[in-house]
Amino acid sequence: MSGRRIVVTSGKGGVGKTTTTANLGAALAKRGRRVALVDADIGLRNLDLVLGVEKRIVFDLVEVVEGRCQLKQALIRDKRFENLWILPAAQTRDKDAVTEAQFLRLTSDLAENHDFVLIDCPAGIEAGFRNAVAGAQEAIVVTTPEVSAIRDADRVIGKLRERKVPFRLLVNRIRPEMVRSGEMMSVEDVCEVLTSDLLGYVPDDEEIIDTTNRGEPIVLDPTKRLGVIYDRIARRLEGEKVEFSKLEEPGFLNRILAGWRG
């Protein structure tokens, strides 16, 4: 078996790469797929925090690459999703500690035992980015509807095209009431500016701040709107035809508030 190796990238930091990686991974695992999540942000790891496994780290990615432990020793199995594994980044090393070839080898090894290998890319377009992309066959570009995030996404897309890595967009943190009042770009605008295909979009929801701080993927809770949305994105990633939902529509209260504010 050889699983799909997908890098989650963005250029700009803080647009939700790690949250996307964790929740998409959890959604895929929930659907019965074997999923490995790789934190490529050496020196500034965070995927372990978002998944609440920070206290269970024994070995890390750099130690695997340097042959100081076996891959399976470094993989941490999630306690809630038995099909989900996490390979943490080293916290006290530099991004230069790993080469592109080593990264490709590592993710290829993981793909032998997993249906999906999701690589959480660091911000920027330096060595860390090159490593993460070298390990992937395809990409998810996460962006938010802000000019600066879109410009950085455009730069990253250019680099992906150079490397012939196919990609789709995930537009994160949409605030529908601001789109409606013309204060924020719409998902369509973003796709048009970046001339890219859409994998999905996620509304800005305060709920995610809390679940992320607690280290629990929101996908865990079937009553949560964002959980349903990530599940739909996961199905789309698997090739299912899932219509873009109306879930982004603001609730009753938001509509009233938007009216008052406007």
Partner 1 sequence: MEGLTHVQTVNQDAVVTTDAEQPKGRAIVITSGKGGVGKTTTTANVGAALAARGLSVALVDADVGLRNLDIVLGLESRVRYHLLDVLENKVSLEDALIRDKRSPNMSLLAASQTREKDDVDTEKMRLLVERLRAQFDWVLIDCPAGIEAGFRNAVVGAQSAIIVCTPEVSSVRDSDRVVGLLPRDLEPRLIVNRLRPHLVRRGKMLSVEDVNAILRLPLLGVVADEPEVVVATNRGEPISLDPKSQTGSAYRSIAARLCGEHIPIERPRVSFFARLGTLFGGR
- Interface segment toward partner 1; rule CB under 8 A; list 76-84, 110-118, 140-148, 194-202: 140-148
Told to check if 249 binds partner 1 by CB under 8 A, we report no
Told to check if 223 binds partner 1 by CB under 8 A, we report no
Q: Among residues 69, 101, 247, 257, which is the contact residue for partner 1, using CB under 8 A?
A: 257
CA-only gyration radius of the chain, Å: 18
Told to check if 261 binds partner 1 by CB under 8 A, we report yes
Residues 99, 92: contact at Cβ < 8 Å? no
Which region, left, alpha or beta, applies to residue 64 given φ > 0 means left and ψ of -120 to 50 means alpha? alpha
- Sign of the Cα pseudo-torsion (112, 114, 118, 119, in order): negative
Q: How many CB atoms lie within 10 A of CB 47?
A: 25
Told to check if 253 binds partner 1 by CB under 8 A, we report yes
Question: Residue count at the site for partner 1 (CB under 8 A)?
Answer: 41
Q: How many CB atoms lie within 10 A of CB 261?
A: 9
Q: Rounded to the nearest whole angstrom, what is the least distance from the CB of residue 125 to partner 1 in the complex? A: 5
Q: How far apart are CA 9 and CA 130, in angstroms?
A: 11
| 99-118 positions binding partner 1, by CB under 8 A | none
Q: Rounded to the nearest whole angstrom, what is the least distance from the CB of residue 63 to partner 1 in the complex? A: 19
Smaller CB distance to partner 1: residue 73 or 209? 209
Residues 42, 128: contact at Cβ < 8 Å? yes
Told to check if 46 binds partner 1 by CB under 8 A, we report yes
Q: Rounded to the nearest whole angstrom, what is the least distance from the CB of residue 127 to partner 1 in the complex? A: 6
Q: SS3 for 90?
A: coil
Overall residue count recorded for the chain in this entry: 262
| 151-170 positions binding partner 1, by CB under 8 A | 151-152, 155
Smaller CB distance to partner 1: residue 18 or 107? 18
Q: How far apart are CA 21 and CA 82, in angstroms?
A: 17
**Counting beta carbons within 10 angstroms of the beta carbon of residue 142, is it exposed (0 to 12), middle (13 to 18) or buried (19 or more)?**
buried
Q: Among residues 91, 108, 113, 186, which is the contact residue for partner 1, using CB under 8 A?
A: 91
Q: How far apart are CA 52 and CA 56, in angstroms?
A: 9
Per-residue string for binding with partner 1, 7-36, x by CB under 8 A? ----xxxxx--x------------------
| 181-200 positions binding partner 1, by CB under 8 A | 183-184
Please give the single-letter amino acid code of residue 7: V
Residues found near partner 1 in the complex (CB under 8 A): 11-15, 18, 43-44, 46, 49-50, 91, 94-95, 122-128, 146-149, 151-152, 155, 175, 178, 183-184, 206, 209-210, 212-213, 253, 257, 260-261
